[in-house]
Amino acid sequence: MGTGERKPGGSQDFAALLAGVQQGCTPTTRRPTFSFAMQLIDSHAHIDFPQFAEDREAMLDRAKAAGVQTILAIGTGPGPEKLDAAIPFAEQHDWIFATIGIHPHEAKLATTRHLDQLAQLAKHPKVIAWGEIGLDYFYDHSPHEVQDRVFRDQLALAHQAKLPVIIHCRDAWPGTLKVLDESWRPTGLGGILHCFSSTLEDAQRGLEMGFLISFAGNSTYPKASNIRDVAKALPLEKILIETDAPFLAPQGYRGKRNEPAYVGEVAKAIASVRNLAPEDIATATAANFRRFFKLEQGLL
């Protein structure tokens, strides 16, 4: 679902991937080490951020050791002054893909020149999505009307580029879903509702518009039963897992820097409420990612 030289249709059939799923509740633990083979995809990580400046390559090595096969590197970076923030990592590593976009926090800084630059970056073969974009009324770093305008402008550009979108939303679900319904649903391109923490009803509206629902480290927190309830209720073939690194470290690492190696903790939290083994959640969400982006398993 994007531009470039990616080949469609290489994923294993989803039903086959889920064949032989074992029943039995597996509790969330505090360490990212497993006694079984995990095949994980981190669908959202900010690996360009300065928190990784001292040990970025070691961090990627730890991710590989933990079973992470692919990272979707989010390219919003520090703001519009660095619109290609994720692309160098995707160029250097065949298992990393990139996004581009302007985060709602920096919407007030966006200019026509920045939007034109994004349109060009969207042609890069390792760019597979546009985002994260959306609305954030919690921090209000940019005026609401500016966020709305820049959100709609980027949706139009993503449509032109035929790229799905990664949606950021905080305390703005009515407005975000309204914009998506008006400006994105007709494209049929869908996307990902990242770090989902809203209601089942909002998630279902997203599904109706072609979105996958992605759960992050906050789903592991003891008081986040509402998030886990949504993860339990949704069709397994419609969910993804992510870290949102370096933010939202899972429960065993709260207060510390998050990193892609910990994405398995999210798989365990979801497994615990779905009466599945963590490796089944890992396999299913990885298959969902590959299928949505039409990526061959051999490339991941």
Rounded to the nearest 10°, the torsion over CA 108, 199, 208, 277 is 110
24-299 under CATH 3.40.50.1970, yes or no = no
Amino acid at 212: L
Q: pTM, whole model, 2 decimals?
A: 0.87
In this structure, are residues 40 and 68 in contact, taking their beta carbons and an 8 Å threshold?
yes
Instruction: Give the Cβ contact number of residue 295 at 10 Å.
Output: 23
The one-character DSSP state at 3 is S
Query: What is the CA 246 to chain-centroid distance, rounded?
Result: 13
User: For position 297, what pLDDT does the model report?
Assistant: 56
Which pLDDT band holds residue 140 (cuts at 50, 70, 90)?
confident
Burial label, 232 (beta-carbon count in 10 A; 0-12, 13-18, 19+): middle
User: Which residues are CB-neighbours of 169 under 8 A, at least 6 positions away?
Assistant: 134, 135, 136, 176, 193, 198
Minimal CA–CA distance to 272: which of 244, 298, 250, 287? 250
User: For position 38, what pLDDT does the model report?
Assistant: 84
Residue of 299 and 226 predicted with greater confidence: 226
For the sheet with 40-45, list strands across it: 40-45, 68-73, 96-100, 127-136, 165-170, 191-193, 211-215, 239-241
The model's pLDDT over 24-83, given as tens digits with 9 standing for 90+, comes to 333 333 445 444 468 999 999 999 999 999 999 999 999 999 999 999 999 999 999 999
- Which residue is listed with tokens 């032109």? 160
